[in-house]
Amino acid sequence: MDSWEWNKIFGAILGTLIFVLVVKFAADAYFEPTPPAKPGYVVQGVPEEQTASTPTAPVEEPLPDFGSVLPTADLAAGKEISHRCEQCHDLSKGGPNKIGPNLWGVVGRDRATHPGFDYSSAMVGDHNPWTFGELFRFLKSPQAYVPGTKMTFAGLRSAQDRIDLLAYLRTQSDNPLPIPPKGATATETAAKPADKK
Ligand code: HEC
């Protein structure tokens, strides 16, 4: 092949490339994308907090008004839920400590004070009484509420489940903690502002 032949071959290749580029430019110009009026990824009806980041961060949940919700709670449902605790806790009067301490009378009991149980240092960090509010928050996510606790229970997400359970646990006592008057929960929260960091 002499150089003339090569020139023809290169010319043909170059011509093809130029043709492809021209077609591409024309197509881009013709089909120029226009931004959609609405972004397509907004899912209607999904609250923003669900799509936001850090889904594992415990969200500060308002306390229910125990004076209103406890008297109407479903004790049978609460008892049913308490079976999940029995995997680690004995609930009966004078019962033994198991993986966790005996829970007879735990509602109103001072934290980490049940005799004979070897609490984690996280749990003995304070001995405030287990009020309805404390238990409500603790049982949602034990490890988030008492970081370092050895209670390896994921928690009860549903507020109603926790209310039913607390109403039942309250009855498992020689001396049930009185149900606070309606509207009193706000006082409990306000009374202990430095409670949780
Ligand atoms: C997998 C085992 C396990 C399960 C299930 C479990 N717990 Fe516990 N719980 C523990 C352990 C262990 C401790 C002691 C925690 C520590 O010392 O950090 C504890 C501690 C507690 C305390 C603190 C008691 C005190 O004397 O201060 C409460 C209240 C409690 N659990 C309630 C419950 C309830 C209610 C349920 C059911 C919804 C439940 N736990 C399910 C293991 C468990």
Task: Give me the pLDDT at residue 10, please.
Answer: 83
Name the one residue in this structure whose structure tokens are 């109103």. Answer: 108
How far is the C-alpha of 186 from the C-alpha of 64, rounded, in Å? 9
Mutate to test the pocket of ligand 1, among 82, 87, 88 (most ligand atoms within 8 A of CB): 88
> What is the whole-number distance in angstroms between the Cα of residue 142 and the centre of ligand 1?
8
Q: Is 143 in the pocket of ligand 1 (CB under 6 A)?
A: no
C-alpha dist (Å) from residue 142 to 39, 59, 85: 39, 14, 13
Residue 81 CA: nearest ligand 1 atom is: 38
Q: Is 111 in the pocket of ligand 1 (CB under 6 A)?
A: yes
How far is the C-alpha of 37 from the C-alpha of 176, rounded, in Å? 61
How far is the C-alpha of 159 from the C-alpha of 181, rounded, in Å? 20
Task: Please tell me the residue having the least CA distance from ligand 1 atom 26.
Answer: 112
Task: Give me the pLDDT at residue 34, please.
Answer: 58
How far is the C-alpha of 37 from the C-alpha of 43, rounded, in Å? 15
Task: Give me the pLDDT at residue 194, please.
Answer: 45
> What is the whole-number distance in angstroms between the Cα of residue 69 and the centre of ligand 1?
23
Q: Is 131 in the pocket of ligand 1 (CB under 6 A)?
A: no
The rounded Cα 20 to chain-centroid distance in angstroms is: 56
Task: Give me the pLDDT at residue 6, please.
Answer: 80
For the chain of 197 residues, list the mean pLDDT of each consecutive stretch of 10: 78 81 72 58 52 54 95 98 98 98 98 98 96 97 97 97 98 97 71 45
Which domains can be identified in the chain, with CATH numbers?
Answer: 62-191 (1.10.760.10)
Task: Give me the pLDDT at residue 197, please.
Answer: 41
